[in-house]
Amino acid sequence: MKPMDVTASPGQSAIFIIFGLPDRQKAREPVKALCGKLPALARSLKNRFPKLGISAVMGFGAEAWQGLFPGRPTPKELTPFQEIRGERHVAVSTPGDLFFHLRGGRMDVLVELASQISADLAEVVEPIDETHGFRYMDSRAIIGFVDGTENPEPEAAQAAAVIGSEDPQFVGGSYAMTQKYLHDLAAWNELPVEEQEKAIGRRKYDDRELEEGVKPENAHNAVTNISDPDGRELKIVRANVAFANPAKGEHGTYFIGYAATFSTTKRMLENMFVGDPPGNTDRLLDFSRAISGTLFFVPSWDLLAELAEE
């Protein structure tokens, strides 16, 4: 099974679209038609602009999957995302039926692809969110630190992000967890650089990890570092980008984590928002607030073609 481009580079530009389906039965044929058409749309742009690294990902929420394809089984870990509530922080749950992640080197090309997708679905969807993201400076988050350092190396990324034999009917697929975070940049920028580094767990300018004894237990990269019972570190593939509306004072990060098992991402979020032990929550959340949260299943290209032909 050929997976979608879930391990591709975040790109210089990205568009994230989440649609709702008011009438899933009415939406079935247009959505199936787009399942068959999307690979050709993406391939056409790749051929026209071979240096831009264009990629497209399409995902389905749990209720949409069951409503659009009632005769098919459901991926093992595909359920509506449930709110994660700690004493001080909340990972909110927000609705979403269809998800598109478009990325590449130029925003105008991505807008063309997004326009084609939206036109094909216009009669059966309602827009929930559309976010245009960008790579900030030298691959940094908008808070000034390098983003994506914790991603696995390319040879390990497929195993981390793509479903394997643990769910044979969905080999080549992936679970995509999406969240939008708004940052209180004024409060963040008031912190001395040394305190910012302790919140992240890395040096700001050279991206080196803080030494043992210096990095706090509630540093961002400490609470999201998890292992299996045998002590092997568990990874996901992040494709985060910044977004902003400076006139409104909005500066944020669009988090998207692709994983072979959603349980891995869920444990990271629980560590961030609840803490392990409880109360040891992610220091970064004192300056960043999650305003959305939705889980999607991303089928392989082969399965997407099967869905189109049903």
Q: Catalytic site residues?
A: 147
Number of C-beta neighbours around residue 189 at 10 A: 12
* 255 and 181 Cβ atoms separated by less than 8 Å: yes
* 14 and 102 Cβ atoms separated by less than 8 Å: yes
- In angstroms, the Cα distances linking 109 to 12, 52, 76 are 12, 9, 35
- Give CA–CA dist 208/223, Å, rounded: 17
Contacts of 28 (CB under 8 A, 6+ apart): 68
Contacts of 270 (CB under 8 A, 6+ apart): 84, 276
Bond from prior residue into 75 cis (ω within 30 degrees of 0):
no
Residue 216: half-sphere exposure toward Cβ, Cα within 13 Å: 15
Kindly provide the residue ranges of all beta strands, DSSP E only, lying in 61-208, ordered along the sequence.
84-85, 90-91, 98-104, 126-134, 174-183
* 209 and 196 Cβ atoms separated by less than 8 Å: no
Beta bridge partners of 292: none
